[in-house]
Structure 1
Amino acid sequence: MSEIENKDTVTEEIQKDFVEDGKNKLIVKCKFCGSKILEKKTAKYVTQEKELPLMQQDANRKEGEVQKEMIIEYYHVDHMYVFENIGFTHPVENHKYLICADCDAGPIGYFDLDSKHSYVALSRIVHS
């Protein structure tokens, strides 16, 4: 199976388990402290390529280097008041990173300063 076919299969599995009618089927929580971030059916499932800094940076990296990973699957939140519990970092380029307001874990996604929309990475949260 090619890498593209594998990603498509994973996307289909996620959609089946966690997405219903194009929205989050379950409550979205912080994977570290369990704090509720989004209520059921409040965010739209979208796919887009966006690099986010790793949640835990390697201590042996070069000074000033920020390790990143490409993330493809997100929940799109069109208004910041939809969140139950979220924090925002200071602006970095044209966005702010989203973090858990209780334990400061993150970034779990990003807030686009132009559109005023938020994107929560599915790989950085848990569902319940």
Structure 2
Amino acid sequence: MNEMNESKSDDVELLSNGNNRLDCRCKVTGCNSLIFRTDTAPLHRQEQKLPLGDHVDTISTFWRLDDVFKFENVTFTKETETENGKIKYLACCDCEYGPIGYQDVKNQICYVAIDRVKYSQPKNNDDHDS
């Protein structure tokens, strides 16, 4: 497969067998915490507003994790009421960058925004460093 497309509009480069083909990590320089491993989550499309700093983005492409135990490192906020129901925001547990996604409180499914994480080739027994 070719290198990832820099435009991020070509999601196919991120997929293998329907799931993420690369490890998903915190994108903060110097953190690099492993959020979840290769082949853990399928791509999911739905619109959700996520704050970041002093603005709010409408995100439409996420990784879907049906089980919180598929995460390597993530933290959850308290419940927040939104126009789409109650959610908990997800953030990096090491540097608290986020939200990188959210959890639907009703069904416990988590969604990680594909643009709020970075990607790396999987490494054996590697939890934090690049």
Q: What TM-score do the two structures reach when normalised by structure 1?
A: 0.80
Q: State the alpha-carbon separation in 2 of the partners of residues 92 and 123 from structure 1.
A: 22
1:45 aligns with 43
Name the SS for the 1:81 alignment partner. Answer: helix
SS of the counterpart of 1:103? coil
- SS of the counterpart of 1:120? strand
Q: Which residue of 2 aligns with 1:98?
A: 90
Residue 21 of structure 1 and its aligned partner are, at CA, apart by 1.7
Equivalent residue number for residue 18 of structure 2: 22
| Distance in 2, Cα, partners of 1:79 & 1:10 | 26
The answer for unaligned runs of 5 or more in structure 1 is: 1-8, 58-66
The count of corresponding residues between Structure 1 and Structure 2 is 108
Give distance in 2, aligned partners of 1:77 and 1:119: 6
TM-score, scaled relative to structure 2: 0.79
SS in 2 for 1:115: coil
Q: Does 1:88 align with 2:91?
A: no
**Runs (4+) off by over 4 Å:** none
Secondary structure of the corresponding residue to residue 115 of structure 2: helix
Residue identity opposite 2:77 in structure 1: T
Is 1:120 the counterpart of 2:112? The answer is yes
RMSD: 1.3
Larger radius of gyration: 1
Q: Which stretches in structure 2 are left out of the alignment for 5+ residues?
A: 1-6, 121-130
What CA distance in whole angstroms lies between the structure 2 residues aligned with 1:82 and 1:19? Answer: 17
Structure 1 position 10, deviation (Å): 5.3
